[in-house]
Amino acid sequence: MAKIAIMGHGVVGSGVAELLRKNSTNISQRIGQSIEISKILDLREFNNLPYLDLFTKNFDDILKDDEISVVVETIGGLDPSYEFTKSLLKSGKSVVSSNKELVAQKGDELLSIARENHVNYLFEASVGGGVPIIRPIYSCLAANKIEYICGILNGTTNFIITKMLEDGLSFEEALALAKDKGYAEKDPTDDINGSDSNRKICILASLAYGTHIYPHEVCQSGIECIELADVDFARSIGCVIKLIGKARRLENGKISIMVCPAFVSNSSKLASVGGVYNAILVKGDAVGEVLFVGQGAGKMPTASAVVADIINIVRAEKTFISQSWKPSNGSIVQAHEQYESRFYLRLKARDAKEAREFVLKNYKSPVFLSRKDQPADEIALTTGYMLESEIKDLTNLFSGHRIKQLSKLIILD
């Protein structure tokens, strides 16, 4: 019998407890032994749970229990998760985490502590919820050089954009609906502004390229700026809008990494992935493109990934099975300014004719778009390949031409 503890009895932590109890017979049959929850750490008071006797408010009850070999961390955030995780790994316990913020900020250090202490630190649930992605990249695509990883990594924003596209809701209406349905948290800032997707693409890129990449190194923008006008312009050229996280190895050996709303062609495998689903496309030099799709969040899908990690640690006996990567060397990530893409821009111009001339003169291969009921002062265009810095410089030039940039999206290749 393997004894485990759970830290944090929120949505994910309670899901883990529920799933371990519900499928205990199946799990025991599969791994040849049972998994028993010994302790649950949470500072809050709970009622009406069949396992109230397991609760403790004292971390030491877990740390000092020598029978507990695996600890689940679903507290979230850095404090106290970071210190707790370090202490547990150093004391010879394996840790399973759904905490993307902690992995994205401290993954290299925690993986290295795990390796030193010959225990495992696994975090399949930190990206894609229940979608198997970290272990498949680490295990199943291990023979490949990863050319790129590109995906819809946040279910909340994908739900919002899908509702704007399919039902014509405004951004605010779609966000309200997402909150109603429990898909968006009370404070959805990290989802909307791209921070959540940023952490996830950092974890995937660190894994794929073997070197820790920090969220602050990522070129990030969110979906706050998206309006129905942008959805219409996207549709006019056979595209949908998705919040995309993408990491790509460049010919110069650097990694280009960004989180940004994007025009995605309807012919792309990502285009039809709607609602709260996540989809991750991985291109390997041998395997070609592989796509993983599933529910990117939610109590039971996320618990499914956490419990899978527990099972794999128990199965592995004393073997070190953690993925791992090296600390950041500070120079693997391509500078934001050098980010190259085709862009979509929507501008508001006091003098449309003057603005069009400005566009034709300054942007590479501009193509003007049009939509029904387009206001006279609205100009939308796609560009050829340009640097992020070139786009920025042109925006600074705008003022003299009485132009305001309303939206800037990339066009996904």
Q: Which residues bind its own copies (CB under 8 A)?
A: 19-20, 22-23, 26-27, 29-31, 124, 130-132, 135-136, 139-145, 210, 269, 272, 284-295, 298, 300-301, 303-305, 307-308, 311-312, 315-317, 319, 321
- CA gap 25, 39 in Å, rounded: 20
Is residue 248 a contact partner of residue 147, using CB atoms and an 8 Å limit? yes
- Given 39, 200, 246, 283, which residue is catalytic? 200
Q: How far is the CB of 89 from its own copies (least distance, A)?
A: 20
Q: How far is the CB of 316 from its own copies (least distance, A)?
A: 6
Q: How far is the CB of 45 from its own copies (least distance, A)?
A: 27
Q: How far is the CB of 306 from its own copies (least distance, A)?
A: 8
Tokens of 355: 């603005």
Q: Which is nearer to its own copies, 287 or 397 (CB)?
A: 287
Catalytic residue list contains 186:
no
Q: How far is the CB of 284 from its own copies (least distance, A)?
A: 6
Q: Which is nearer to its own copies, 172 or 317 (CB)?
A: 317
Q: Which is nearer to its own copies, 128 or 366 (CB)?
A: 128
Is residue 364 a contact partner of residue 337, using CB atoms and an 8 Å limit? no
* Phi, psi dihedrals of residue 117, rounded to the nearest 5°: -95, 10
Q: Which is nearer to its own copies, 56 or 154 (CB)?
A: 154
Q: Which is nearer to its own copies, 127 or 386 (CB)?
A: 127
Q: How far is the CB of 196 from its own copies (least distance, A)?
A: 20
Q: Which is nearer to its own copies, 20 or 262 (CB)?
A: 20
Residues designated catalytic: 200
